[in-house]
Amino acid sequence: MEVGTQHIAKLEQYLLMSKAAKGAAAAKLVQDATSAPGVFVFAELLEQPNIQELSGHEQHSPFFSLLQLFSYKTYPDYLQHKDALPPLNEAQITKLKQLTLVSLAQDSRILPYDRLLSVLEMPTIRELEDLIIDAIYLDIVRGKLDQREQQFEVEYTMGRDLEPGKLEKLLVSLQNWASTTSAVLATLDDKLAEISNRTATAKIDKEIYEKKYQATLKEVVDKQKEARNAHRPVNTGLRTGLTAAGQAELERERERERERERQRELERENKDDMDVDEPTDVKGKGRK
């Protein structure tokens, strides 16, 4: 059950009795309803014809003002108009202070103890906390007592009756709020559209930059390759795929081959020399 819902049901018996109560009986009904435990809403009772008649009765009009007080006013209002109202019993004073707590909680989610002590005329913090705890158990407010910070942290409150004329002001406030909200939403839409456009432009710029960067990088790499190829010595030999040790062995084999070739050249030269020195006429050869 939501906060305050059960309090409407508890008013039903007084609504039924108000249909037959007139004059002093209606005034007594107001006194009973404002003193009754668990009854915290009074707008429907205030609208009953027999209760409305009290406002025009000189003797009973203070009870109509009393019902108005409990319907939508606060404890400081009672202190201000105390002489024009019937005296309150202890139950009524406690209830009016609890209703005042509801009104304060509707205006602020953090209620310092100092402010509550002053507005509700509570002599001690202990009595103030007891009042708040009772209000929480009665389900007219929800929240947490913060003794360290000396404050009451409001989570939720029941709704109180609207004072005549306040509904029109509330509607104007809601219309102003709706207009302000629409303007804020329109501004947010414009900002989102601007951000979206900037994001798209930034993406395009990034893509263009990336293309230019890649093209420049390729150009630099190609130039570096050309520079290396220009300074590289021409290699006409075939690549053997040999290791460094194999290449060294190949060079030694080539050196040995060149040495053998020199030996063969020397042998040929020696042979030619021997052919030149041999005599052409041998003794006794060719004699008759």
| Rounded Cα distance, 133 and 143, in Å | 9
Residue 3: what pLDDT? 43
- Residue pair 154/108 in contact (Cβ under 8 Å)? The answer is yes
Strand order in the sheet with 141-146: 110-112, 151-157, 141-146
Phi/psi-derived region of residue 37, left when phi > 0, alpha when psi is between -120 and 50, beta in every other case: beta
The number of residues in the chain equals 288
What residues are paired with 156 via a beta bridge? 142
pLDDT of 65 > 80? The answer is yes
Per-residue pLDDT band for 29 (boundaries 50, 70, 90) equals: very high
Q: To the nearest whole percent, how much of the chain has pLDDT over 90?
A: 51
Residue 5: what pLDDT? 57
Residue 288: what pLDDT? 41
pLDDT of 140 > 90? The answer is yes
Q: How far is CA 130 from CA 124, 126, 127, in A?
A: 10, 6, 5
**pLDDT tens digit sequence for 143-179:** 999 999 999 999 999 988 887 766 666 677 788 888 8
| Rounded Cα distance, 200 and 206, in Å | 10
Q: To the nearest whole percent, how much of the chain has pLDDT over 70?
A: 85
Task: Find the helix or strand (DSSP H, E) in which 258 lies.
Answer: helix 244-277
**pLDDT tens digit sequence for 232-287:** 655 545 455 567 777 778 888 888 888 888 888 888 877 766 665 555 554 444 44
Torsion of Cα atoms, 70 then 74 then 78 then 81, to 10°: -100
Mean of per-residue pLDDT scores for the chain: 85
Give the least confident one: 18-22, 23-27, 162-166, 215-219.
162-166
Higher pLDDT, 241 or 180: 180
Residue 220: what pLDDT? 87
| Rounded Cα distance, 49 and 113, in Å | 41
**Hey, what amino acid is at 68?**
Q
**pLDDT tens digit sequence for 208-218:** 998 888 889 88
- Chain-centroid distance of CA 146 in Å reads 26
Higher pLDDT, 142 or 10: 142
- Radius of gyration for the alpha carbons in the chain, expressed in angstroms and rounded: 56
pLDDT of 111 > 80? The answer is yes
pLDDT of 183 > 70? The answer is yes
**Hey, what amino acid is at 202?**
A
